[in-house]
A and B are shown apart, each in its own frame.
Chain A
Amino acid sequence: MSLLTLVGASGCDDLPKDPNDTLERVQRSPLRAGAVANPPWVEHGRVAAGAEVALVERFARELGTDVHWRLGSEQELFAALEAFELDLVIGGLQDSNPYLAHAAKSRPFGASFAGHEVVIATAPGENRFLVTLDGYLHRHAAAVLGPWLPRTRERAVPGDAGAARAGAPAADGGGP
């Protein structure tokens, strides 16, 4: 019962918390992100580039931190994620990706651009970090992805993504 009283006292905004304090740590040291090549989300090459790379770098800027990129295969990067050596993994990951069983995943985004739902994998159980990422994606994903994925833009359906894009200029200036 003491837990219940704690819930009341601390307020809902602080919950959930991260077991490994990921959100607090990335505000002091760079965000450790893994990228699997999968254009247009992550381009092939020796430096991280692509639609989702831009998305994560913008997220880091909002948190007031940098991104330390690690490029590699799905298997390698997901193993690192599960071992808490990475904070998130990108690469046009689809919701049904079997590697996601041992990780946490964001809400799907990007369906209106590439035609399929894409998620970002985060370290398992770091729920505060995940909720923060989801909030950011909800506000900015459409606006950040728009310039990167123009080819399929006409497929955009009216709704979440469209509304977010329309409000993007104002949101671009603001903080998280």
Chain B
Amino acid sequence: MRTTAPFELPPAQQKALHEAKRLEWLTIGYLTTVVIGMYLTLGSSQAMKAAWLEDMLSFIPPIAFLISTRVTRRKPDHRFPFGYQRATTIAYLVGSLALLSFGVFLLTDSALVLVRAEHPSIGTVAPFGEPLWLGWFMFPALLWSAVPILFIGRRKLKLAQKLHDKVLHADAMMNKADWLTAGAALLGVIGIGFGLWWADAVAAAVISLDILHDGVRHLRAAVGDLMDRRPRTVDYAHEDPLPARLHDFLAHESWIQDVQVRVREEGHVYFADALVVPAKDRSIVDEIERTVDRARALDWRLHDVVIMPVGKLPGPSEPR
């Protein structure tokens, strides 16, 4: 059986990948300190508990990224003749689902608080003997959960563009959700301090809409990737111009009279096939077309058969 040629990232991208991995480990270490810090200041506040659960969800994208970069390093073999690149897309699906659940969780949680008119109670703690309002301690915990992740997330966004890595992009969006939520919780705690019981929930609900929007966008993109949709840019905003470039390039070749290309994404990289009408030497074309028809007649499941004549096979055949 034929296998895809092993894929190596270009040197610049390899450097970026190395940095991205370091950033993801940093994120995991940092999130651990946030989760511990938040746990200590939870008190009986439902709002803080929700923020804490959301922070737990943020572990999913970095872990998915680290696992997928490990898997994609494997060379194509007879079990996976197309290679392991698509592990990235699966990780992307996982990451986008985490983002979406984050948004759904936050929206339902804050909506319920508003509907039931639950007044958040924040009591006191007495680490130095005299009881002090726990709200004061929530400020540093929330600031710590907002400010560093803001910078980590921005850096990830840059690397995601460079690496054409959507997992990293979804993770950067998760980090954006993290600092937005922490900021909302901060405003919420200030609001509670001023006796506005609904402030926390309203701030969280507003933020959750933004997170939901990102989550839906990324989930659609991930599902589209798995369905071999036309390649789009990492932020999903535009169609990637690369297939058009390939088409134009082929169309300008002197031996090609007409061309159609089809490109799909396999994780970081694209796989393309092109049907071309040769301008001059058409000796082999009829034979190929006949063989394709007969090959398809072998079994109804052989739906799309591409035969490409080559001078020499790229490598030794893997066992069939």
Contacts and interface: CB of A to CB of B under 8 A. Distances in A.
A127 B194 contact: no
Describe B's contact surface by its main secondary structure: loop
B304 interface: no
Interface string A46-80: 00000000000000000000000000000000000
Interface string B107-143: 0000000000011111111100111010110000000
A127 B121 contact: yes
A19 B192 CA distance: 8
Given A3-B187, A104-B44, A107-B126, A134 B131 contact: yes
A89 interface: no
Nearest to A125: B119
Interface string A125-139: 111101100110110
A106 B120 CA distance: 14
A102 B113 CA distance: 12
A41 to B, nearest CB: 20
B123 A134 contact: yes
Contact of A17 (B121, B124, B125, B193): B193
B130 A138 contact: yes
A124 B124 contact: no
B191 interface: yes
A144 to B, nearest CB: 16
Which residue among B123, B130, B187, B192 has the maximum number of chain A CB atoms within 10 Å of its CB?
A: B123
A124 B131 contact: no
B196 interface: yes
A115 interface: no
Interface in A112-131: 122-128, 130-131
B190 A7 contact: yes
Contacts of A102: 118
A131 B121 contact: no
B126 A104 contact: no
Contacts of A122: 121
A106 B194 contact: no
A145 B288 CA distance: 97
Interface in A2-17: 3-4, 6-7, 12, 15-17
Contact of B121 (A3, A12, A15, A104): A104
B130 A15 contact: no
A105 interface: yes
B123 A105 contact: yes
Nearest to A18: B195
Q: How large is the interface on A (under 10, 10 to 19, 20 to 34, 35 or more residues)?
A: 20 to 34
A160 B128 CA distance: 11
B44 to A, nearest CB: 6
A93 interface: no
Given A106-B123, A125-B121, A3 B194 contact: yes
Given A16-B135, A19-B196, A130 B126 contact: no
Which residue among A19, A122, A130, A135 has the maximum number of chain B CB atoms within 10 Å of its CB?
A: A19
Nearest to B198: A19
Contact of B123 (A3, A4, A6, A130): A130
A31 interface: no
Contacts of B135: 15-16, 127
B43 to A, nearest CB: 10
B195 A124 contact: no
A3 B124 contact: no
A124 B123 contact: no
A6 B191 CA distance: 11
Contact of B193 (A7, A105, A137, A138): A7
Contacts of B122: 16, 127
A103 interface: yes
B120 A125 contact: yes
Interface of A: 3-4, 6-7, 12, 15-19, 21, 100, 102-107, 122-128, 130-131, 134-135, 137-138, 160
25 contacts: A12-B136, A15-B133, A17-B193, A19-B196, A21-B195, A105-B44, A107-B123, A124-B118, A124-B119, A124-B120, A125-B192, A126-B119, A126-B121, A127-B123, A128-B195, A130-B121, A131-B131, A131-B133, A134-B123, A135-B124, A135-B130, A138-B129, A138-B130, A138-B131, A160-B129
- Chain A to chain B: the 7 pairs with minimum beta-carbon distance, closest first: A125-B119, A104-B121, A17-B195, A134-B124, A134-B131, A124-B119, A19-B197
Given A18-B195, A122-B121, A125-B118, 4 more contacts: A3-B191, A107-B131, A125-B119, A131-B131
